[in-house]
Structures are given as structure tokens and as C-alpha cells.
Structure 1
Amino acid sequence: MPKLIFLPHEVICPEGAMIEVEAGISICDAALQHHIEIEHACEKSCACTTCHVYVREGGDSLEPASDLEEDYLDKAWGVDPDSRLSCQALVADEDLVIELPKYTINMVSEQH
């Protein structure tokens, strides 16, 4: 099973995390199942940018971003070449190293 390695984030997972997941699950769903509270204001429907992450290693194993995902990434804070919307990026068979951005443009979270 592939591993998702989350780099430390001072609020969401201060010590980082490593989880094993089944291929085919989205990065967002995998994180949420393991109590890594990634924001997802649009209910994971590719209609916002709150679940933006950086896939620092293993990103080549992911399917390319759709045009819709690319359009939303254009609106995300701090986008770089490793950026993905975690609700759209489905884990394949390689381990991934994931960095959570320091900020999102979301002013309201589903959890609040």
C-alpha cells in the first residue's frame, strides 16, 4: 500500500504524519480519515481551493490535473508547480510526500 507522508504543519499536523492508504482514494479523503483536518469548503467537488496541497514527491504517479482543477488552482494562494487540489488527486501506487500550505484563501471552514 502506498504511504502518504505529510510534512509538519504548525496547526494541522505539527509533528507531521505518515499513513498507509489504498490506491484510488483522494489525498483529501485519506487525510481526513486519519484526522488530518484539511479544509474542504465545497464538499470535495472541485469548486474551491481550500484543499490545496503541494505534492513534493511522487506527484508523477498521479493523473494529470483536469482543466477544471487547473482553473481553480489559478485562484489558490501560493500555487507552485507541485500544487494540487487534494480532493481531486487520487493516490496511485507510489508513496507521496505532501506539504500543506501555510494559508488558504478560505474564510469559512466546514468545521466552523
Structure 2
Amino acid sequence: MPQITVLPHQELCPEGVVITAKTGQTICEALVKGGVGIEHACEHACACSTCHVIVKEGFSSLIPAEEDEEDMLDKAWGLQPQSRLSCQAFIDGKDLTVEIPKYSRNFVKEGKS
């Protein structure tokens, strides 16, 4: 089973964590099931950018982002070339290392829908 190494995040996992995931699961599903409380305001509908992660290792094993995801990623704080919406990035059996950005943009919470 693939593992996801989550780099330390001040609020969500200060020590970092390694979780076991399932092939075919999204990164977001694996993180939430593994106890990492990543925000996912749209409930996996690709309608926000709150679940943005930066894939530090294993990026090439993910199916490329579709246009809807790319459009949402443009709204993410701290966008990097290896950024993905964790609700749209399906695990393909390879280990991953991800970084959860310090901030996320929740346009609904911020009143900017």
C-alpha cells in the first residue's frame, strides 16, 4: 500500500506524519482518513482551492490535472508547479510526499464567492 508523507504543518500536523493510503483514493480522502484535518470546503467537488497541496515527491505518478482543477488551482495561495487539489489527485500506488501550504483561500468563508 502506498504511503503519504505529510511534511510538518504548524496547525494540522506539527511533527509531520506518514499515513497509509489506498490506490485509487484521492490524496484528500487519504489525509482525512489518516487524521490530517485538511480543509476541503466543497466536499471534493473541485469548486474551491482549500485542499491545495504541493506534491514534493511522486508528482509524476499522479494523473495530470484536468482543466477544472487547473482553473481552481489558479486561486490557491502559494501556487507551485507541483501543486494539486488533493480532492482531485488520485493515488496510483506510488509513495508521495506532500506539503500543505500554511494558508488556504476559502472564498465562501471569506465572503468572496
Same fold (TM over 0.5): yes
For the residues of structure 1 that align with 2:77 and 2:5, how far apart are their CA atoms? 22
Cα deviation 1:8-65 (Å, max 9, x = unaligned)? 0010000101011110000001000011001011111000000000000001000000
Output aligned runs, 1:55-74, within 5 Å: 55-74=55-74
Cα deviation 1:77-109 (Å, max 9, x = unaligned)? 11010100000000111100000000011263x
Asked if the contact 2:20–2:34 (Cα under 8 Å) also holds between the matched residues in 1, the reply is no
For the residues of structure 2 that align with 1:58 and 1:32, how far apart are their CA atoms? 19
Output aligned runs, 1:38-77, within 5 Å: 38-77=38-77
Asked if the contact 2:52–2:86 (Cα under 8 Å) also holds between the matched residues in 1, the reply is yes
User: Which letter maps to 1:84?
Assistant: R
TM-score, structure 2 as length reference: 0.93
Aligned equivalent of 1:101: 101
User: Which letter maps to 2:78?
Assistant: G
User: Which letter maps to 1:39?
Assistant: E
For the residues of structure 2 that align with 1:35 and 1:2, how far apart are their CA atoms? 16
Q: How many residues align?
A: 109
Q: RMSD of aligned C-alpha atoms? A: 1.2
User: Which letter maps to 1:53?
Assistant: V
Local SS of the residue matching 1:97: strand
Unaligned runs of 5+ in 2: none
For the residues of structure 2 that align with 1:39 and 1:22, how far apart are their CA atoms? 20
TM-score, structure 1 as length reference: 0.94
For the residues of structure 2 that align with 1:10 and 1:91, how far apart are their CA atoms? 25
Aligned equivalent of 1:86: 86
Aligned equivalent of 2:10: 10
